[in-house]
Amino acid sequence: MKSEFFIPKSHPRYYSLKIREKLVEGFKKGIVPIEGLIAQGRGETFDYILGEKTLKPAIKSIKAAAALFLLAKHPVISVNGNSAALVPEEIIKLAEIVGAKIEVNLFYRTKKREEKIKKLLLSLGADIILGVGKDASATIPKLMSERRKVDPRGIFKADVVFVPLEDGDRTESLIKMGKKVIAIDLNPFSRTAQKATITIVDNIVRAMPELIKLSQKFKNYSQQKLKSILKNYDNKIILKEMIEAIEKRLTSKAAN
């Protein structure tokens, strides 16, 4: 179900428009909820301000995320509609490299959409997808949204949960359960960004290939080296650096 509209490569916003098209296609296929298009719009705003590139603090977060993944005993990648539409192959690749399970977990949960996302990931080579239908039989305590329903083999028992593009109601609950949370969120002010153990403030389409690359590289590192990468990481400092980067960019734009 490709877009009927032609986007010329010469268009100054070609890449951004192509990402948008992926989400629209995902929406038409029943993978992305209509609210997911709004979420992308919010992300685009921050990306525009950041200059649509991966900034240095984000690279530090990606390195720490790779280290945490590789040190984890039960890492799980939580997939929603937007991440399934934008980076399905990358999710599978990352899971392979770091030995993570993949679980579908939706805020706007419907049986149909869960099944479609599972089918998409299986068709791209994933071997098992958790969290769909009756498999989501465990509950995240004190969480009221549909995201509370999780798989006992997956998010429920995970020590590290990766939540690319989250809506903010779950990260805090996962942290309270004693888990470590890695988030990708272009908005450094969001609740998810503020509460996660590691926040990658970057576009998911740029961050995922970098995370795959560094996870592959770090696989050769000793546990001690991975631990020291984590020890030197401070998420509060990273968020501060990202907010300062936004401030700097806005100030320089205002001066021109």
Chain residues in the site for ligand PTJ (CB under 6 A): 33, 35-36, 39-40, 42-43, 46, 80-82, 106-108, 165-168, 184-187, 190, 203-204
Alpha-carbon span 78 to 103, nearest angstrom? 5
Structure tokens at 152: 């006992």
**Nearest residue to ligand PTJ, scored by beta-carbon proximity:** 43
Of 75 and 131, the one with the shorter C-beta distance to ligand PTJ is 131
Do β-strands 180-184 and 160-164 pair in parallel, antiparallel, or remain unpaired? Answer: parallel
- Shortest Cβ distance from residue 148 to ligand PTJ (Å)? 13
Shortest Å distance, C-beta 192 to ligand PTJ: 7
Q: Which is nearer to ligand PTJ, 107 or 218 (CB)?
A: 107
Tell the smallest beta-carbon distance from residue 206 to ligand PTJ (Å): 8
Closest by CA to 163, choosing from 174, 152, 177, 153, is 174
Q: How many CA atoms lie within 13 A of 227 on its CB side?
A: 3
Q: Are 36 and 44 in contact (CB under 8 A)?
A: no
Are 117 and 143 in contact by the 8 Å Cβ rule? The answer is no
Shortest Å distance, C-beta 203 to ligand PTJ: 4
Query: Phi, psi (5° rounding) for residue 36?
Result: -65, -30
- CB 94, min distance to ligand PTJ, A: 15
User: Pick from 106, 90, 86: which is nearest to 98 by CA?
Assistant: 90
CA-nearest of 142, 185, 181 to 158 is 181
Min separation Cβ 219 and ligand PTJ, Å: 25
Say how many C-beta atoms besides its own lie within 10 A of residue 255's C-beta.
6
Nearest CB to ligand PTJ, comparing residues 39 and 91:
39
107 or 233: CB nearest ligand PTJ: 107
The answer to whether 27 and 116 are in contact (CB under 8 A) is no
In the bound state with ligand PTJ, the residue whose beta carbon lies nearer, of 173 and 226, is 173
How big is the chain, counted in residues?
A: 256
How many angstroms separate the first and last alpha carbons of the chain?
42
- Of 151 and 166, which has the nearer Cβ to ligand PTJ? 166
User: Which CB sits closer to ligand PTJ, 138 or 221?
Assistant: 138
Smallest distance, Å, CB 50 to ligand PTJ? Answer: 10
